[in-house]
Chains A and B, each alone.
Chain A
Amino acid sequence: MAVADTATGQDSTAGQQQTNWQAPPPRKRHKSDPYRPVHLNMLPMMALFTVVLCALLKDYSSDPVQISPSPDTRLPHSNTKLPPQKAVQIAISRRAIMVDNSKVAEVESGRVKPVYKKDNNPQSMFIVPLFEALRKKADQEKLIAKYNKRRRELQFKGLVTVIADKRVPFRLLTEVLYTAGQAEFGQYKFAVIKTQGS
């Protein structure tokens, strides 16, 4: 401000006055003054909280199918727009294979341990506990479909959602898909994280 004042050729007395200005000392409350509580205006905060609450409730209620990858699973990103559907979930992390959140086989260095393979053969594509778990799920879904023949959404479609870590090698994925195919699950949906703006 001082520079601006010299440029116009005027003395910067107003600026000095501003810098020399001191706040008046706080008024001492007399003992006779009654205590008056301060009323805060809560309305702006209430408005803010209402907006946040509505946004969170909408987010909570809009997705009927919940896909929750395990903490050690990093899903790949994709520009797809398809919403998830209700299906049996097979999660493939770097440590385990899970069917609907129940661990069925262990994974080590991107390979299923041979003890879980057919005849303990490491080259086999067939993962025995995964097959048994999926077979059980298929039987359950078929039983539900049998008693709900008129409801199309409850018919057995052999649909699985694969929630795989992005660092999983294709060989492991093939083994899981092959085993799922043997258990009559022939339609696959790969879970991904939707990229922003797509």
Chain B
Amino acid sequence: MPGIRESEKPVNLNMVPIMNLFLAMIPFLLMCAAFFQVSVINASVPALSEGGDQDQEPKKELKKVTLNVQIGTNGFTISASGDQSEDELKKIGGTIPKKNNQYDFDKLAERIKAIHDHYPKSDTVILLPGKDTLYDTLVKTMDATRERILDKRLDTREHLFTNAVVSSIL
């Protein structure tokens, strides 16, 4: 251009080598990329305990229950165990039948939330699937009992029965 000295002319960089590098790396990384994220769910199984001091009276926990959720062919059966009276424990229990031949996880989550509101110190749920229950059903039941998502966008959750014990009926 007239008026611009030779030293002020813009320098054209050779972008071809770096483009080649990018074009080689992107397909390789795309091949290795995972388009889903794997997480884990903690689970435990019932354990034998030695039995503590028999002479000492155990302290009664009236705000805590252990929930049992049986996954049957017709739906869920809920029962509870704890230091409460038998009548009170019976009131907690109940059945959630299948809806359109599908397990009603929403209703189970609602019921679990109501129980947890009443007994806020509770954290243990024993899951009792039938031998033909699919693993997917077990995971969904764990989800329904473990926590409730309050706001998906803000990722706020309410913890319910976080300690899941997987057991089976003999």
Q: Which residues of A pack against B, CB within 8 Å?
A: 39, 42, 45-46, 49-50, 52-53, 56-57, 59-60, 63, 67, 75-85, 161, 164-171, 173-174, 177, 181, 186-194, 197-198
Contacts and interface: CB of A to CB of B under 8 A. Distances in A.
B101 to A, nearest CB: 17
Interface of B: 12, 15, 18-19, 22-23, 25-26, 29-30, 32-34, 36-45, 47, 129-136, 138-140, 142-143, 146-147, 149, 152-153, 155, 166, 168
B43 A171 contact: no
A188 B47 CA distance: 13
Given A46-B18, A79-B149, A59 B132 contact: no
Contacts of A59: 29, 33-34
23 contacts: A59-B33, A60-B33, A75-B38, A76-B140, A77-B139, A79-B149, A80-B39, A82-B41, A84-B40, A166-B135, A168-B134, A169-B134, A170-B130, A170-B135, A171-B131, A171-B132, A181-B45, A187-B42, A190-B139, A190-B142, A191-B38, A192-B39, A194-B36
Contacts of A161: 40
Contact of A82 (B33, B42, B152): B42
A192 B168 contact: no
B134 A57 contact: no
Given A79-B149, A167-B135, A173-B138, 6 more contacts: A52-B26, A84-B40, A169-B135, A186-B47, A188-B43, A194-B38
